[in-house]
Chain A
Amino acid sequence: MSHLAVRYFGRVNRKTAWPSPQKENRLTLSPPRRAALGGWEMKGLHKCEETHEISEGYKAAIALLRSLRNVDEAERQRQRDSWEMLEQDLDEGRYH
């Protein structure tokens, strides 16, 4: 398992409390980091296009995506088990 995968999967065994919507700032009407209501942070996006640079968040997301593709058999099995449950729930919840 890659270093990044360990970083992310290291959270698995952490006993998490029920997430607080207030703490997560998810019940506010404030815009998320990159999106606003019909008003994206266009200034920031233009700047990125001009310099051909991407945000630190996107770099981290790319690293995460790669780490999930390059995994050992145990993680592959975990993904299969997790996907089977997710797909079943999504199909029952939305498509049927």
Chain B
Amino acid sequence: MLVLLDSKPLGMVTHPTISDEADECSQWLERLLAQDVAVAIPEIIDYEIRRTYIHRDNQRSIALLDSLITDIGYLRLNTETLMIAAALWGKARRDGVSTASEKRLDIDCILAAQAHQASIEGQEVRIATIDVDDLSRYDTDLVKAVLWRDIN
């Protein structure tokens, strides 16, 4: 199983003292790593978080993000990812289940595409998120959006 971190769980583990939930999330990730579960930070999530840190000139958080990426792992985007994302976006809109505005980049869709791409050779992928309802519309047999604390 591969676990992909969505932005809120990733944000919480780098800000663990802001709430009990964030502390729990940090300890949850620590347990996964200690069990050698494959965990990765998707490139689209790095983009989503990094751009706000750069905008806010939050150099310390950028350094923390860089450290986590180096230590845990990074799932890159490429042309195939965006082809899958385009297919998911178009189908969701055609089926009337899209939640993002047409003018938005729709990060959910690109995150789901990264998960789909990682599952191509039979790998089970779990997207650790707080936003199960929106992301689960892209679920498959191998790809599931799951509340982070329910992944063990």
Chain A residues with a Cβ under 8 A of chain B: 8-9, 11-14, 16, 26, 29, 31-35, 37-40, 45, 48-49, 52-55, 57-58, 60-62, 64-66, 68-69, 71, 75-76, 78-80, 82-83, 85-87, 89-90, 93-95
Taken together as a complex, chains A and B put the C-alpha atoms of A24 and B61 apart, in Å, by 18
Q: Is B56 an interface residue (CB 8 A)?
A: yes
Taken together as a complex, chains A and B put the C-alpha atoms of A57 and B70 apart, in Å, by 7
Contact A29 B76 (CB under 8 A): yes
Scan residues 85-108 of chain B and give those whose CB is less than 8 A from a CB of chain A.
Answer: 100, 107-108
Chain B residues with a Cβ under 8 A of chain A: 2, 7-8, 11, 13-18, 22-23, 26-27, 29-30, 33-34, 36, 38, 40, 43, 48-49, 52-53, 55-56, 58-64, 67-68, 70-76, 78, 80, 100, 107-108, 117-121, 123, 131
For chains A and B in complex, what number of residue pairs have CB atoms within 8 angstroms?
A: 156
Taking CB as reference atom, which chain B residue is nearest A76? B17
